[in-house]
Amino acid sequence: MGMTITEKILARGAGLKEVEPGQLINAKLDLIMGNDITTALAAEELEKIGIKKVFNKDRVVVVLDHFTPNKDVDSAEQCKIVRQFAREQGLSEFYEAGNVGIEHLVLLENGIVVPGDIVVGGDSHTCMYGAIGAFSTGVGSTDMAAAMITGELWFKVPETMKFVYTGKLQPWVGGKDLILYTIGQIGVDGALYMAMEFTGDTIDSLPMQGRFSMANMAIEAGAKSGIFAPDKTTEQYVKGRAKRKYEFYASDADAQYKEVVEIDVCGIEPQVAFPSLPSNTRNISEVGDVPIDQCAIGFCTNGTIEDLREAASVLKGRRVHSNVRLLIFPGTQEIYRQAMKEGLLEVFLDSGGVISCPTCGPCLGGHMGLLAKGERAIATSNRNFVGRMGHPESEVYLSNPAIAAASAVLGRIGSPVELGLKA
């Protein structure tokens, strides 16, 4: 029987010729990733049972990106624990301050994660590496600790739900809209425990940053992972970055799927997820009058240079509405530098925006732009849960960067088309 790309990668990790959905396997891990919040707990677990060394100092990656630059004294203490852990362990991939970025973009940009890898991370959006054809999934800190000690972890081979996207995308519609639309269709547990496999002719021509947004948000449909079969676009992205040899896997023609969902993208408009679930989506034409107080662009979901270019193309020569605070979060220092070279930072400053260093910041209600009671934000992040960006009675709406930028100018949620812009 044929296997899916996910099954093939997991079989390789388990040292088996084949695996099938539901099978419990022990798989060797290529990478284990953690951030300031999750590594602190994992490091304590190692200490508790007296483990002195991680299994391989080159395969445990730590990025201090959530509550950094240290948002308060407790966060500073937490980062100190993690920094000390990274130094004692002699981790070769440790990122903070001047070389920091939002963890997932750091791993992708620096070729630390490569196609065909099996990766677990102490962060639910670890599923993002499926964009380049790796199997990756989020785990809690105890799983992370176990993985750091043994270099292995048990998995139940997930069933796969295949999504086939066909047709040409409308103007201002990208990967973020496709994934929001999909979650809107299947719900926040529509792919619970499953692997989402993204295919179809629309996907064949979808640029890498669109794939990033889609794989990133697989968890928002409850999935274990989200994956794209590597192709020319993948090759172009990983060559020159990959720090290790990589392998492209693909699903067999006779692979078994739990379900196949076909989506014609021709009629899909830019999507906006209303509070308080990513599945609560509406077409931009059906949003109505939703005034906003804040617009946050960037984060792991939409913090690439392409995302910033998209936002800047809308903001160029325009001023942000007087009621709106525009905050920009470049994904990494490298993206920040590139945005500077291209003059994008100037566009943001001229429009009245504030540019932050790379951090998860307000996305998870950390710092750098929280909301007061009753305030509303549009954000290019991935979650709009109750109180996600601040006060429990504040609201977050999710969109792509172009919609967010246009909304910042309009003072309410709207589209670049309303500003007379054509894609």
Partner 1 sequence: MICKGRAWKFGKDINTDVILPTKYMNLRESKELAKHCLENQNPQFAKEAKEGDIIVADKNFGCGSSREHAPISIKGKGIGCVIARSFARIFYRSAFNIGLPILESGAAVDGIEDGHELEVDLATGEIKNRTTGESFNATPIPAFMQEIIDDGGLMGHIKKKLKT
- Smaller CB separation from partner 1, 297 or 389: 389
- For residue 96, the SS3 value is coil
Which residue in this structure is represented by tokens 């692997």? 195
- Smaller CB separation from partner 1, 219 or 305: 219
Question: According to the binding rule CB under 8 A, does residue 231 interact with partner 1?
Answer: no
Minimum CB–partner distance for residue 126 and partner 1 (Å)? 8
Minimum CB–partner distance for residue 189 and partner 1 (Å)? 4
| Token representation of residue 102 | 């939002």
- Residues numbered 342 to 381 that lie near partner 1 (CB under 8 A) are 364-366
Contacts with partner 1, 291-330, as mask; x by CB under 8 A: ----------------------------------------
Question: Is residue 109 within a helix (H) or strand (E), and if so which, with residue range?
Answer: helix 103-109
- Residues numbered 86 to 145 that lie near partner 1 (CB under 8 A) are 121-124, 126, 138-143, 145
- Smaller CB separation from partner 1, 71 or 258: 71
Which one-letter amino acid corresponds to residue 43? A
- Residues numbered 150 to 169 that lie near partner 1 (CB under 8 A) are 150, 154
**Interatomic CA distance for residues 183 and 177, integer angstroms:** 10
Minimum CB–partner distance for residue 60 and partner 1 (Å)? 16
Question: According to the binding rule CB under 8 A, does residue 386 interact with partner 1?
Answer: yes
Question: According to the binding rule CB under 8 A, does residue 189 interact with partner 1?
Answer: yes
- Smaller CB separation from partner 1, 22 or 420: 22
Minimum CB–partner distance for residue 395 and partner 1 (Å)? 14
- Smaller CB separation from partner 1, 75 or 234: 75
From the list 108, 119, 146, 186, which residue makes contact with partner 1 (rule: CB under 8 A)? 146
CB count within 10 Å of CB 381 equals: 31
- Smaller CB separation from partner 1, 40 or 284: 40
8 A C-beta contact, residue 355 and residue 330: yes
Question: According to the binding rule CB under 8 A, does residue 385 interact with partner 1?
Answer: yes
* CB proximity list for 2: less than 8 A, separation 6 or greater: 251, 252, 253, 254, 255, 256
> Positive or negative, the Cα torsion across 255, 111, 131, 210?
negative
Minimum CB–partner distance for residue 301 and partner 1 (Å)? 14
- For residue 142, the SS3 value is helix
Q: Crossing angle, helix 344-351 and helix 305-315, to 10 degrees? A: 40
**Interatomic CA distance for residues 238 and 337, integer angstroms:** 20
Minimum CB–partner distance for residue 123 and partner 1 (Å)? 6
8 A C-beta contact, residue 162 and residue 199: yes
Closest of 166, 253, 257 to residue 203, by C-alpha: 166
Minimum CB–partner distance for residue 83 and partner 1 (Å)? 15
8 A C-beta contact, residue 179 and residue 263: no
Minimum CB–partner distance for residue 219 and partner 1 (Å)? 8
> Positive or negative, the Cα torsion across 93, 99, 100, 106?
negative
From the list 44, 204, 235, 418, which residue makes contact with partner 1 (rule: CB under 8 A)? 44
Q: What is the DSSP string of 238-275?
A: HTTT-SS--------TTB--SEEEEEE-TTPPPEEEPT
| Token representation of residue 49 | 């049972």
- Smaller CB separation from partner 1, 275 or 352: 275
Count of residues near partner 1 by CB under 8 A: 50
Q: How many residues does the chain have?
A: 423
Question: According to the binding rule CB under 8 A, does residue 45 interact with partner 1?
Answer: yes
Question: According to the binding rule CB under 8 A, does residue 192 interact with partner 1?
Answer: yes
Interface residues with partner 1 (CB under 8 A) are: 24, 37-38, 40-41, 44-45, 48-49, 66-67, 71-72, 74-75, 77-78, 121-124, 126, 138-143, 145-146, 149-150, 154, 188-189, 192-193, 219, 222, 224, 277, 364-366, 383, 385-388, 392
